[in-house]
Amino acid sequence: MSLTIKENIPLAPLTTFKIGGPARYFADVSSEGDIREAIQWAGEKGLPVIVLAGGSNVLVPDSGLDALVIRISGDEYSFEGNVLSAHPGCNLLTLIKISGERGFGGWEKLAGIPGTIGGAVRGNAGAFGPEIKDFIECVRALNIKTSEVRDFKNEECSFEYRESFFKKNPEWLITRIILKLLPVTPDESKKISEETIREREKRHIQNVCAAGSYFKNPVAPPDVVSIFEKEKGLTSRGGRVPAGWLIEKAGMKGAVVGDAQSSSQHPNYIVNNGRATAEQVRTLAEKIRESVLMQFKIHLEEEAVIL
Ligand SMILES: Cc1cc2nc3c(=O)[nH]c(=O)nc-3n(C[C@H](O)[C@H](O)[C@H](O)COP(=O)(O)OP(=O)(O)OC[C@H]3O[C@@H](n4cnc5c(N)ncnc54)[C@H](O)[C@@H]3O)c2cc1C
């Protein structure tokens, strides 16, 4: 067996939340061969396989994971004209920069979303309008239950706001991503990426332990959308209103459970102030959800994944 499987590996340092217990077993996987070996090994031990990538959208339970956790690592990519073929472990920002230098882009508004391109595709990551789905040609995935490998064309990926076929069917592990980019000048691409990152730094809190937006922005009843639009002078996208706005209106901005806090700058970020536990994060999330439900009759759904 060429794969190295380690035991009792702390997962908190591998996530942006910095929360959670250890993985009973852990392996870094880069090739399809590694993944197959890992699946077989876990199957023989009767253990579930859990996928981790950049760790920027996950909450690990305090007790850890009685499983084989496989971390997708790899940075290999290639270009054929404007078509980019990337390993899912590639860092998203690195790919945006490298593409821009080669004169291909269009996706610079996604610059600064932490994590890998595999994680981004799985959650259809987006920012300032564009979503990763807008650039996807095809996604190759391997079924960790049956070992089947399939190529999914964009329209077969069931992309929606922060959703995809892969998110609804976690047994499919993304192993390759093919994107079609637009011609851009390297200077323009660099400029948009840098402006986007600056805008993110202005709008979002930096250097905190969090998993980005904890809840998805929900579709709201027309009366709530109308209050939001009037108050903010903005137009709702697809009838959605920001979860952060609802949380603030429900009086939960800054709310605290132990060391977990709804950020007072960006209420939809649940922040680990130092020693927060997963239990505290979940209790706070539940309180926020109840308050928003009571005030607006809107059910908030997690965007972050509880492993
Ligand atoms: C400060 C901050 C800001 C953020 N801003 C944004 C934003 O603007 N827009 C946005 O959309 N998101 C944002 N996020 C959330 C996060 O960065 C994205 O969801 C990111 O795409 C997750 O990628 P990852 O590699 O870190 O995935 P992980 O967090 O490691 O994994 C997330 C989920 O994807 C699964 N997964 C990962 N790789 C694969 C694969 N190859 N195949 C199948 N499943 C896989 C994992 O099992 C897990 O369930 C932010 C997060 C932080 C911390």
Residue 242's CATH number: 3.90.78.10
Catalytic residue list? 162, 213, 303
Other CB atoms within a 10 A radius of the CB of residue 29 amount to 23
Residue 11's CATH number: 3.30.43.10
Q: What confidence category does residue 307 fall into, taking pLDDT thresholds of 50, 70 and 90?
A: confident
Measure the CA–CA gap between 185 and 236, rounded to whole angstroms. 32
Kindly state whether residue 197 falls inside one of the protein's structural domains: no
Tokens 């930096």: give the residue.
Answer: 206
Are 213 and 140 contained in the same domain? no
Kindly state whether residue 279 falls inside one of the protein's structural domains: yes
Are 186 and 85 contained in the same domain? yes
Kindly state whether residue 166 falls inside one of the protein's structural domains: yes
pLDDT digits (tens, 9 = 90+) for 13-70: 999 999 999 999 999 999 989 999 999 999 999 999 999 999 999 999 999 999 999 9
Tokens of 282: 């979940």
Burial zone of 58 (CB within 10 Å; 0-12 exposed, 13-18 middle, 19+ buried)? buried
Measure the CA–CA gap between 32 and 18, rounded to whole angstroms. 29
Q: How many domains does the chain have?
A: 3
Other CB atoms within a 10 A radius of the CB of residue 253 amount to 19
pLDDT value for 70: 97
Distance 163 CA to ligand 1 centre (A): 12
| Domain limits for position 124 | 77-190
pLDDT value for 191: 97
Q: Which atom of ligand 1 is nearest to the CA of 121?
A: 21
Distance 57 CA to ligand 1 centre (A): 4
- Over residues 205-234, the mean pLDDT reads 91
Nearest to 142 by CA among 178, 117, 173: 173
Distance 299 CA to ligand 1 centre (A): 22
Kindly state whether residue 195 falls inside one of the protein's structural domains: no
Distance 293 CA to ligand 1 centre (A): 26
Q: Which of 147, 167, 190 represents a domain boundary (last residue)?
A: 190
pLDDT value for 306: 86
Q: State the pTM of this model.
A: 0.94
What is the DSSP-derived secondary structure letter of residue 40?
A: H
Kindly state whether residue 39 falls inside one of the protein's structural domains: yes
Segment among 93-107, 165-179, 227-241, 254-268 with least mean pLDDT = 227-241
pLDDT digits (tens, 9 = 90+) for 286-303: 999 999 999 999 999 999
For ligand 1, atom 6, the nearest C-alpha belongs to 113
Q: Which atom of ligand 1 is nearest to the CA of 126?
A: 11
Binding-site residues, ligand 1, Cβ < 6 A: 16, 51-58, 72, 88, 113-116, 118-120, 122-123, 125-127, 166, 173-174, 210-212, 305
Kindly state whether residue 196 falls inside one of the protein's structural domains: no
What percent of the chain clears pLDDT 70, i.e. is strictly above it?
100
Q: Under a CB-based contact definition with an 8 Å cutoff, are residues 214 and 268 in contact?
A: yes
Tokens of 273: 């102030």
Residue 160's CATH number: 3.30.465.10
Are 95 and 38 contained in the same domain? no
**Best substitution site from 30, 32, 122, 281 to test ligand 1's pocket, by max atoms within 8 Å of Cβ?**
122
Measure the CA–CA gap between 183 and 203, rounded to whole angstroms. 29
Q: Which of 15, 37, 72 represents a domain boundary (last residue)?
A: 72
Query: Taking all residues of the chain, what is their mean pLDDT, rounded to a whole number?
Result: 95
